Structure 1
Amino acid sequence: MESKTLEVDVNQGVATVWMNRPELHNAFNPELIEALTQTFRQLDQQSDVRVMVLAGRGKSFSAGADLAWMKQAGQASESENFADAMKLALMMRTLAEMNKPTVARVQGAALGGGMGLASACDICIASEQALFATSEVKFGIIPAAISPYVIRAIGERHACRYFQTAELISAHKAVELGLVHEVVAADSLDECVAGMVKSLQRGGPQSQAAAKDLIRAVASRPVTDEIVRDTAQRIARLRATPEAREGLDAFLAKRPPQWLPKG
């Protein structure tokens, strides 16, 4: 699962995935994209992993596409560029559709595809030094592969501005836009991430996966008879599961549920 561009640390149910190209600000190249895709898939299948934290070594979270790779793409055919773009789009979708909770730990620049990764994670926690941007138009391209996740995070109206201006977005402004959930001092970033992870571990793993699926099914849709029936069916299916019974029994007995990590 690990490669030269990626490190994975699993500890007490938490998988921390470190992008490891600090000298290039964790910019994407084909190897990193493939490693991330495979890692997201594998971690989603691991029963010993409850939460995934996505992070970057060095000063930056991720500066987006590697400029050397972009230069090569400029010399490639449309069909070759399509194949590359599909790999990036698949990586983003794999992250966004993981069943397990995902947290982005953003300590510095999250530009282009880096902002896409932060948007595709369920939760984004940033240091005060973090900077975001959809910077693609500066290079004569568009934030295509990341657009579903960035637009979901900040909305169409804000996307109309930032997709075209490529302005830098401060961490505090990113909170206002809905991209970032918490902003903390740099020396408090890991503590804040750990606290969020602890909160996530209190939830049942099956119910959290179902909650993510529920959001995808309901978001931006009108309340119709079909939606009402679907939501009722979803809760009905879960109420009789062993996880639901364990959660209720633990609450009534005033004890931790069995899915909480030991120690």
Structure 2
Amino acid sequence: MFETIMIETDGRGVARLTLNRPDRHNVLSAAMIAELTRAAADLGADPAVRVVVLTGAGESFCAGGDLGWMKDQMAADAPTRGAEARKLAMMLKALNELPKPLIGRVNGQAFGGGIGMMSVCDVAVGVTGPRFGLTETRLGLIPATIGPYVVARMGEARARRVFMSARLFGAEEAVDLGLLARAVAPDALDDAIEAEVRPYLSCAPGAVAEAKALVRALAPTPDEAAIDTTIAALVARWESAEAVEGIGAFFDKRKPFWSA
């Protein structure tokens, strides 16, 4: 049914949604973006599903966007770039608005789009040890479509600490930034996730969905204008000379001209 993700639902109605490209550190390809969008719709509409746990296969949670996909966008025409950027934005929106609790099981490192995936979870618990970062500016890009969710999760002041610098940080700082609710030892992760899941199984599913919708209504959330702004910003960056240099340097295994 899916090529880049897996969905397994247990008898309690707890669905595990796994990013399943472990050989590529679960980077977000065009196929994965499409499959995650479809999965969000399917899980949201399934009355048997009570809770969704989002995780990654292998050693990483999600190492960001697939650079091959980004390179394709830079070579495409402007309408194609805009359409692809909108698919990414709509995937994040679909997960953010999932009418079920979305719990992030952050089993490893996360960069760029992976930070965006953490930010659309209702709560995320991660393991100690991995590194995290919004690394787009190293490539001449910007964290555009994920930006509204990252800033909503961290708050502006904390986001400014890591949003522009591409600085890597550990799980403890991810807790301080608000990305993770807790950081636990790897062998304690499943117990920590179960502790987040279990309370929902005593709650009325409709009430949980309406409570989640109310939180979104009361808090600042990305509207269509904000999403359009991020899409335009991402497309403009893909067209920039810095992005051409940054992506080219990555594939050439050299430093871009701005790197000290």
- TM-score when normalising by structure 2: 0.82
The corresponding residue for 2:110 is: 110
Shift of 1:9: 0.2
Q: Which runs of 5+ in 1 are unaligned?
A: 222-263
Q: Do residues 125 (structure 1) and 125 (structure 2) align? A: yes
* Worse-superposed segment, 139-148 or 195-204: 195-204
Q: How much has 1:158 moved relative to structure 2? A: 2.0
Report what 1:174 is aligned to: 174
Instruction: State percent identity of aligned pairs.
Output: 40
Q: Which deviations, in whole Å up to 9, do the C-alpha atoms of 1:227-258 show, x marking residues without a partner?
A: xxxxxxxxxxxxxxxxxxxxxxxxxxxxxxxx
The 10-residue stretch of structure 1 (194-203 or 89-98) with the greater mean CA deviation from structure 2: 194-203
CA drift at 1:130: 3.2
CA distance in 2, matches of 1:132, 1:93: 22
Map of 1:190-209 to 2, 5 A cutoff? 190-209=190-209
Distance 1:92 1:82 in 2: 16
Q: Report 1 or 2 for greater relative contact order, CA contacts < 8 Å, sequence distance ≥ 6.
A: 2
Give the drift of 1:100: 0.6
Letter in structure 2 aligned against 1:30: A
Structure 1 counterpart of 2:26, one-letter code: N
Whether the aligned pair in 1 keeps the contact of 2:159 and 2:177 (CA below 8 Å) is no
CA contact (8 A) 1:96 1:121 kept: yes
Equivalent position of 2:48 in the other structure: 48
Q: 3-state DSSP class of the match of 2:54?
A: strand
Aligned counterparts of 1:37 and 1:103: Cα–Cα separation in 2: 17
Q: Are 2:19 and 1:19 aligned?
A: yes
Q: Which residue does 1:138 correspond to in 2?
A: 138
Name the amino acid aligned to 1:6.
I
1:111 is displaced (CA, Å) by 0.7
SS of the equivalent of 1:87 reads helix
Root-mean-square deviation (Å):
1.3
Deviation at 1:219, TM superposition (A): 2.0
Equivalence for 1:5: 4
Q: Structure 1: how far apart are the matches of 2:4 and 2:220?
A: 37
Distance of 1:173 and 1:14 partners within structure 2: 29
**Structure 1 CA distance, aligned partners of 2:75 and 2:81?**
9
Q: Which residue of 1 aligns with 2:85?
A: 85
The amino acid across from 1:48 in the alignment is A
Residue 170 of structure 1 deviates from its aligned partner by 1.0
After TM superposition, give the deviation of residue 78 of structure 1 in Å. 2.2
Matches within 5 A, 1:23-34: 23-34=23-34
Secondary structure (helix, strand or coil) at the match of 2:17 reads strand
Q: Runs in 1 of length 4+ with deviation above 6 angstroms? A: none
Greater CA radius of gyration, 1 or 2?
Answer: 1
Residue aligned with 2:161, SS: helix
Between stretches 62-71 and 89-98, larger displacement belongs to 62-71
After TM superposition, list the pairs within 5 Å mapping 1:146-225 onto structure 2.
146-219=146-219
Inter-partner Cα distance in structure 1 for 2:120 and 2:105: 12
Q: Shift in Å at residue 220 of structure 1?
A: 5.1
Give CA-to-partner distance per residue, 1:96-118, whole Å, 9 cap, x none: 00111000111111111111011
8 A Cα contact 1:107 1:129, kept in partner: no
